[in-house]
């Protein structure tokens, strides 16, 4: 049973509505309206956020190390494929090329997404997975809960930052970078940039 392969893109990263201490990465169908929310851990969320925001951590993160190793050994990541969902867990593969040989490597979906962002590699899934686990978004229907959660958290976080001085924001930015909280750092950086 083959199913049509569809391209996805990361459209949101937020705290999970359903699970505390977790995040949700929301993938959107390219040229479509369906969204695929995937619950991931905090470490993986930060790894994705760092790459999305083009931040340079003081030390290489695990996914940066893996990318550097792949480059050093001439392994190219050509695509990420979310190929299966079973009991609410998504399964992914890294499709790599090395010396004209295609290699498929099993991966946690969150790790595969963190690498896809670093390599600027396309992300795919099958239509039957979107049919099973995807959410349809429509302008009149409103946003999915994960995106509404992201908006409300982002708004409250931004409101906290709006009242702070540039000096306080810069000090806070350094503090959260030292703690490697890259999601919060991105919010602070955006607030600083909006005042320039």
Token reading at 67: 């990318």
Domain count, the chain: 1
Query: In terms of DSSP H, where are the helices of 120-165?
Result: 127-133, 145-162
Q: Does residue 43 form part of some domain?
A: yes
Q: Answer whether 125's CB lies under 8 Å from 10's CB.
A: no
Residue 104: which H helix or E strand, with range? strand 101-108
Positive or negative CA dihedral for 45, 62, 116, 4?
negative
Q: What CATH number is given to the structural domain containing 123?
A: 3.10.690.10
Q: Does residue 183 form part of some domain?
A: no
Token reading at 152: 């409300």
Q: What is the pLDDT along the chain (196 residues), one digit of tens a residue?
A: 458 999 999 998 877 655 566 788 989 999 988 899 898 988 888 899 889 888 888 888 899 999 999 999 999 999 999 999 988 899 999 999 999 899 999 999 999 999 999 999 999 999 999 888 887 654 433 444 444 444 434 444 555 788 888 888 888 877 877 776 767 777 777 777 787 7
Q: Does residue 120 form part of some domain?
A: yes
Token reading at 11: 């459209």
Which residues have a Cβ under 8 Å from the Cβ of 123 and sit 6 or more positions away? 7, 8, 9, 10, 27, 79, 80, 82, 112, 113, 116
Q: Does residue 192 form part of some domain?
A: no
Q: Does residue 144 form part of some domain?
A: no
pTM, entire model: 0.71
Q: Does residue 168 form part of some domain?
A: no
Residue range of the domain that includes 77? 5-138
């Amino acid at each position: 049973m083959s199913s049509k392969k569809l391209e996805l893109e990361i459209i949101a990263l937020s705290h999970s509505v359903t699970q505390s201490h977790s995040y949700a990465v929301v993938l959107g169908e390219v040229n479509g309206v369906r969204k695929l929310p995937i619950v991931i851990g905090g470490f993986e969320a930060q790894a994705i956020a760092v790459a999305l925001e083009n931040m340079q951590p003081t030390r290489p993160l695990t996914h940066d190390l893996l990318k550097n190793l792949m480059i050093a050994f001439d392994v190219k990541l050509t695509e990420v494929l979310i190929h299966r969902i079973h009991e609410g867990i998504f399964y992914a593969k890294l499709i790599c090329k090395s010396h004209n040989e295609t290699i498929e490597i099993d991966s946690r979906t969150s790790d595969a997404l963190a690498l896809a962002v670093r390599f600027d590699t396309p992300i795919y899934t099958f239509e039957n997975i979107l049919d099973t686990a995807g959410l349809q978004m429509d302008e009149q229907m409103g946003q999915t809960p994960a995106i509404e959660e992201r908006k409300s958290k982002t708004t409250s976080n931004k409101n906290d930052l709006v009242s702070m001085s540039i000096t306080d924001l810069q000090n806070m930015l350094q503090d959260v970078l030292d703690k490697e909280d890259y999601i919060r750092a991105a919010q602070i950086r955006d607030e600083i940039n909006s005042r320039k």
